[in-house]
Amino acid sequence: MFRRIDRVSHVGSLDPASRTERASLEGPCLSVSVNPEDWSCIARVSGPTWELSCPGALWLDAGNLPDADMAAIMSWAEAEGYAEPARIWRAWHFDGEADSWRYFSLPSRDAALAEIDADDADPDDEVPSETGDLVDWTPGWRLTERAMAALERRSDDLDGPGGAIILYAMLKLAPAEPGLVGIWWDEEYDPLSLSCPRGGILPGRIALFEIRDEYGAPPPFRTIEDPAP
């Protein structure tokens, strides 16, 4: 469930006053990576690069959770009023650059139908949906208003598991595991496809890190309760 990463980087301001309202996959957590130059391009952020170190730091390995752990997280999220079962509609489209089928997740059939392109319906190329059609649905989880408020800048309420993992780490795991500092998504390193490993430091754990800029200087403040993206 956990992995150890002692040193990560954050690109941008650490000043709480500079926090923006832009959406963040990491929600209220401080966005970090081990590939700061690539991540700054992918996330379209700029500013100083900060190195954050915490020997022995543990991260919830979000991308490699066993099915049993994921089921426990979703059961907790449902019981706490953060997620509810939902029908997730998918609008399939063919990505010519990637030479593969992809889909958008949408809240209703009408919304999915509005997204499809009839030109994608090639009779010689089978759509990898449940029905073979450009629109289908799959059982999933939807985040509640309570969850979205707690996740702050995370904008996708149809990604129930993604949001639930953050909340579970913050509210359930962190109080019981002092060494847990954040969540890690060990995504494929492929900057050209806008992908690289990334993490999010839990707001209450930032004080555990030694922070230095690229010149070795510490930030002008030490206690950070509400980090910028």
pLDDT tens by residue, 180-215? 999 999 988 888 888 889 999 999 999 999 999 988
pLDDT tens by residue, 54-107? 999 999 999 999 999 999 999 999 999 999 999 999 999 988 877 889 999 999
pLDDT for 229 beyond 50:
no
pTM over 0.85: yes
Please report which residue ranges of the chain form alpha helices under DSSP H: 36-43, 67-79, 109-115, 145-151, 160-168, 174-176
Q: What is the model's pLDDT at position 45? A: 83
Task: Tell me how far CA of residue 101 lies from CA of 61, 85, 116, 122, 189, in angstroms.
Answer: 27, 26, 12, 12, 20
Phi, psi dihedrals of residue 178, rounded to the nearest 5°: -60, -25
Please say whether the beta carbons of 105 and 142 come within 8 A: no
Please say whether the beta carbons of 123 and 117 come within 8 A: no
pLDDT for 124 beyond 90:
no
- Round the average pLDDT of the chain to a whole number and report it: 89
User: Distance between CA atoms of 134 and 66, rounded to whole angstroms?
Assistant: 31
**pLDDT confidence tier of residue 25, bands split at 50, 70 and 90:** confident
Q: What is the model's pLDDT at position 13? A: 79
The residues near 85 (Cβ < 8 Å, ≥ 6 apart) are 78, 139, 140, 141, 142
